[in-house]
Chain A
Amino acid sequence: MTVAELAAGLRAGSYSSEELTRHYLDRIARFDAVLNSFITVVPERALEQARNADRRLKRGEAGPLTGIPIAHKDIFCTRGLKTSCGSRMLDDFVAPYDATVVSKMDQAGLVVLGKTNMDEFAMGSSNENSWYGPVRNPWDTALVPGGSSGGSAAAVAAGLCAAATGTDTGGSIRQPAALCGLTGLKPTYGRVSRYGMVAFASSLDQAGVLTHSAEDAAAMLQVMAGFDLRDSTSADEPVPDYSVGLAGSLEGLKIGLPKEYFGEGLDGAIAHSIRQAIDEFRSLGATLVEISLPNTALAIPTYYVVAPAECSSNLARYDGVRFGYRCEAPQDLEDLYQRSRSEALGSEVKRRILIGTYALSAGYYDAYYLKAQQIRRLISEDFRQAFAQVDVIMGPTTPSTAFAIGEKAKDPVTMYLSDIYTIAVNLAGLPGMSIPVAPVSGRPVGLQIVGNYFREAQLLNVAHRLQQATGWHLKHPGDYWA
């Protein structure tokens, strides 16, 4: 059921938030031993929040989402509740404060069922890099759910929570949304506060949501978005009412189709599903424009300098001194730093720290980091020119459907290429969505929609109209929705 349907049910008194919360807690107990989508489940805390929500509903003091049970990616700090970020480093870390996203959701009366599994420090595209083990895709448990917000995606897809938060640095909301048949929204950089969100690459990280529909994504974004004094890169832009234009006509909408997104490397069956969706938009009144984003092929090389460079500097804070893991019996300070970090960080995280350290080191800075920042400008300019001609840009979210657990784990570079269509959007800081289209051989396929800066309302409108016209978003993994 969608958040919108559940909210209507709560308001009509068809069930209480406490009953709804128990329903999801039962499902987690029944299914999550296999899926492994949660790191922490907090039944007592959730039921307490649900009872508070019921009181608000009864008194007529409820917001639109009061009483809806959700889950937070375990990257958002939650006061009094473990925030592991999928890492042994933070296995016993209980944040002394709430992330802004968490406190906004609490104030709106949403119920937090628990914290979802993820690739360690959000570095990965398959959720195989978690200290807490891989997450399985509810469509086929031999497959990955995507990453890094793979726990959030699997939990929503299997109906273990109504919606979930995620974060997206290079595709970490859109790619798992695509692989699990969900609606995923990564807002414009700065639209949602990063305060209390464990940092990976600070100029790319952005919080968003994984839901069953664009309508749900709009309702969740409404709660999360907005200026925050506590985030120095938060955008001081007004937040529109995202529900208002949701059903607006697409007559005259100009859709840009980048030729680089439909070329070599794209699975033919996926291309067919994407074309089918684009044809639907044409019958909804949109016009199609072929465009070019000439620097597309450079997005991954550029990202794998910028993101590791920022990661190596952000993760320097994990030194075994103030919080997090500390090795046993350090001999001296150097040993304390080295062993605490080496014992508690996983191999992908170490790899990215090393690459970043190298790219920033004396003598290599200009060749790598400065060069990458220059190409980042070119990539961003490509989008600027495209948005002078079109309203939104569309293409596939991923080059293939969900792959098998273990299939790409041995070769980091092959894994990196799964984010080929999503990464440029983060480099430019634009908002992007993935929505489900016709599946291929029973596996979900995502259509990516990219908008201009702060045009989330338009993305949601475009996505909602397709969902109303086709119902592709209503397909669920049968084992969990019998």
Chain B
Amino acid sequence: MSLEKSQVEKIAHLARLRVNDEELEQVAGDLSSILDLVEQMNAVDTRGVIPMAHPLDMVQRLRSDRVTEEDQRDLFQSIAPATEKGLYLVPRVVE
């Protein structure tokens, strides 16, 4: 399986990563060789096999609906790049 440069650009956009023009060929080549490796999976017939999402057969635990965490907004926001009045700041989205 070999990826076109345009496909790499599309995937990069989905992942919110920027791949420069000069890197594009190298990245496309690397990803293609990984996909070649991955496609060894196609040698196996998996019809009827139940997918395994998780190593242990677990059920999601439920807890009672009561407050267990205290408000730590100031602490958590102290490590943010930019905040104001308890809000995270990003470039303007709506004019």
Contact = CB atoms under 8 A, between A and B. Distances in A.
A316 B15 CA distance: 8
B52 A374 contact: yes
Contacts of B27: 350-351, 354
Contacts of A320: 81
B41 A372 contact: yes
Contacts of B30: 351, 412
Contacts of A342: 17-19
A301 B31 CA distance: 13
A396 interface: no
Nearest to B90: A333
B6 interface: no
A338 interface: yes
B93 interface: yes
A125 interface: no
Contacts of A322: 76, 80, 88
Nearest to B58: A233
A430 B90 CA distance: 43
A374 B34 contact: no
B41 A371 contact: yes
Given A374-B52, A412-B34, A357 B11 contact: yes
A96 B16 contact: no
Interface residues of A, number: 70
Contact of B51 (A300, A359, A373): A373
Give the size range of B's interface with the partner. 35 or more
A299 to B, nearest CB: 10
B51 A370 contact: yes
Contacts, number: 162
A304 B11 contact: no
A342 B8 CA distance: 14
Contact of B15 (A190, A357, A427): A357
A320 to B, nearest CB: 6
A341 to B, nearest CB: 6
Residue among A203, A204, A331 with the most chain B CB within 10 A? A203
Contacts of A371: 41-42, 46
A354 B93 CA distance: 26
Contact of A429 (B12, B55, B78): B55
Given A330-B91, A354-B27, A375-B46, A429 B56 contact: yes
B67 interface: no
At the interface, is chain A mostly helix, strand, loop or mixed? helix
Interface string B63-91: 10000000010011011111000001011
Given A375-B46, A413-B34, A341 B60 contact: no
A337 interface: yes
Interface string A341-352: 110010000110
A355 to B, nearest CB: 6
Contact of A304 (B37, B80, B82): B37
Given A321-B81, A373-B53, A377-B51, A302 B41 contact: yes
Interface in B27-54: 27, 30-31, 33-42, 44, 46, 49-54
Interface in A295-345: 295, 297-298, 300-302, 304-305, 312, 316, 319-324, 326, 330-339, 341-342, 345
Contact of B49 (A316, A353, A377): A377
Contacts of B8: 354
B56 A190 contact: yes
B91 A298 contact: no
A31 interface: no
A57 interface: no
Given A373-B53, A380-B52, A341 B17 contact: yes
B55 A189 contact: yes
Contacts of A428: 55
Interface in A224-272: 229, 232-233, 235
Given A333-B91, A358-B35, A413-B37, 4 more contacts: A233-B58, A302-B41, A323-B81, A377-B52
13 contacts: A96-B72, A233-B58, A302-B41, A319-B16, A322-B76, A333-B93, A336-B91, A350-B17, A350-B19, A353-B15, A355-B38, A357-B11, A373-B53
Interface of A: 93-94, 96, 189-190, 203-204, 229, 232-233, 235, 295, 297-298, 300-302, 304-305, 312, 316, 319-324, 326, 330-339, 341-342, 345, 350-351, 353-355, 357-359, 361, 368, 370-378, 380, 411-413, 416, 427-430, 453
Query: Which 8 pairs between the two chains have the least Cβ-Cβ distance?
Result: A429-B55, A373-B51, A326-B81, A374-B46, A377-B52, A374-B49, A342-B18, A357-B15
